[in-house]
């Protein structure tokens, strides 16, 4: 395995250092004053990120068959070792850690628990999750209540959903008992809890092939279990999807609290709780926009900053870092997920450039 991984690592390094010389030089990115971004690790297809409490291990989910682990041996916030931690999995995009730093993995068809010796135990067996590739890359996070929250995307563009399709479920990590937490969710690939209010916020991607400007991507807020967010009947604030305009669907449906540009592909969201960034960033959220693939005027390929008032209501949505989409249309990166290191710096995965960035701040 060591020789195989060495070969993979060398290929990745050669691709980045050779063919994509821009990947090492990030001067094309636009950052606020005082911030710096660097390549922190090189991971093929880097997607979901989770960090152990002490920051010694960082796990990376992918949409292929592998989970990677990065080790910071001396806890200096640097990537000292990178390895393939698990292989032979089925789209292991979703990963989470419990209070003991035990790893859980949401595959396309099941959820497993991974012991420190890498022994796998099935928590949610096949049968409940739709085993279909379309929106089958699960996103998962552990909530303040100790449950595992798992996004189950609709297995289509716009269609009537069945069972747990088009929902966010929550799963007891020991018993595997699952229930629907949020309904009418087309394809969420990121969520987090407000540090003060503990309310649950999630991104959701709107339907395709309705034009450049609709429907918007969304940030939604849940305040109790069982709320419905519209899909497949409505998007935005009660605007019907054409396919279901005469369906006579019963409400009520919750409107988004923030509307992003259509097809920007809002994915990971991370509330900032550290002390390295300026104090006004405390309890703000950063959202990774993966970038559009079906829009004549591309948008996204950036990080957005969301500010909240003291009651936990979002009040501002602005660009934090951009430049991965160049003026000539060249795409140099597609941010996916975010995670905070113990020193307050921020990691960002990128499955296009096959890297993980680290964002730091130094007062000016």
Here the tokens at position 108 are: 């396309």
Q: What's the number of CA atoms in the CB half-sphere (13 Å) around residue 64?
A: 13
- Alpha carbons 168 and 190: distance in angstroms, whole number: 11
pLDDT of 250 strictly over 80: no
Alpha carbon distance, N-terminus to C-terminus of the chain = 45
pLDDT at 290: 98
- What's the pLDDT score for residue 9? 42
Tell me: the pLDDT tens digits for 184-209?
A: 999 999 999 999 999 999 999 999 99
Q: What span, in angstroms and rounded, lies between the C-alpha atoms of 31 and 9?
A: 29
- Give the CATH number of domain 2-361; options: 3.30.720.210, 2.30.30.40, 2.120.10.30, 1.10.645.10: 2.120.10.30
Considering only CA atoms, which of 127, 225, 247, 132 is closest in space to residue 187? 132
In the predicted model, what is the mean pLDDT of the chain? 93
The domain segmentation of the chain, as residue ranges, is: 2-361
Asked if residue 59 has pLDDT above 60, the reply is yes
Mean pLDDT of 102-128: 97
pLDDT at 15: 40
The pLDDT tens digits for 335-361 are 999 999 999 999 999 999 999 999 999
């Amino acid at each position: 395995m060591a020789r195989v991984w060495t070969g993979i690592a060398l290929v990745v390094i050669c691709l980045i250092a050779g063919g994509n010389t821009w990947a090492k030089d990030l001067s094309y990115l636009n950052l606020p004053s005082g911030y710096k971004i660097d390549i922190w690790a090189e991971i093929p297809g880097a997607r979901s990120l989770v960090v152990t409490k002490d920051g010694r291990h960082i796990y990376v989910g992918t949409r292929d068959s592998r989970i990677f682990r990065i080790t910071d041996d001396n806890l200096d916030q640097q990537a000292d070792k990178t390895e393939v931690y698990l292989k032979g999995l089925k789209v292991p995009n979703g990963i989470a850690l419990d209070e003991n730093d035990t790893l859980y993995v949401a595959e396309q068809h099941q959820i497993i628990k991974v012991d420190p010796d890498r022994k796998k135990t099935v928590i949610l067996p096949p049968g409940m999750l739709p085993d279909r590739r379309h929106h089958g890359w699960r996103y998962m996070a552990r909530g303040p209540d100790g449950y595992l929250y798992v996004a189950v995307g609709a297995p289509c563009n716009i269609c009537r959903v069945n069972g747990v399709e088009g929902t966010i479920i929550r799963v007891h990590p020991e018993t595997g008992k699952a229930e629907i937490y949020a309904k009418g969710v087309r394809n969420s690939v990121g969520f987090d809890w407000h540090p003060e209010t503990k309310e649950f916020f999630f991104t959701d991607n709107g339907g395709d092939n309705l034009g450049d400007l609709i429907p918007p991507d969304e940030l939604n807020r849940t305040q109790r279990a069982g709320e419905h967010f519209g899909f497949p009947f409505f998007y935005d604030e009660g605007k019907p999807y054409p396919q279901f305009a005469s369906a006579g669907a019963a409400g009520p449906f919750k409107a988004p609290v923030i509307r992003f540009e259509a097809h920007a592909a809002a994915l990971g969201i991370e509330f900032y709780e550290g002390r390295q960034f300026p104090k006004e960033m405390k309890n703000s959220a950063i959202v990774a926009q993966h970038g559009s693939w079906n829009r004549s005027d591309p948008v996204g390929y950036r990080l957005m900053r969301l500010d909240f008032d003291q009651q936990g209501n979002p009040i501002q949505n602005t660009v934090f870092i951009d430049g991965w989409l160049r003026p000539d249309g060249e795409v140099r990166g597609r941010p996916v997920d975010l995670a905070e290191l113990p020193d307050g710096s921020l990691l960002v995965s990128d499955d296009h450039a096959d890297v993980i960035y680290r964002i730091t701040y130094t007062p000016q």
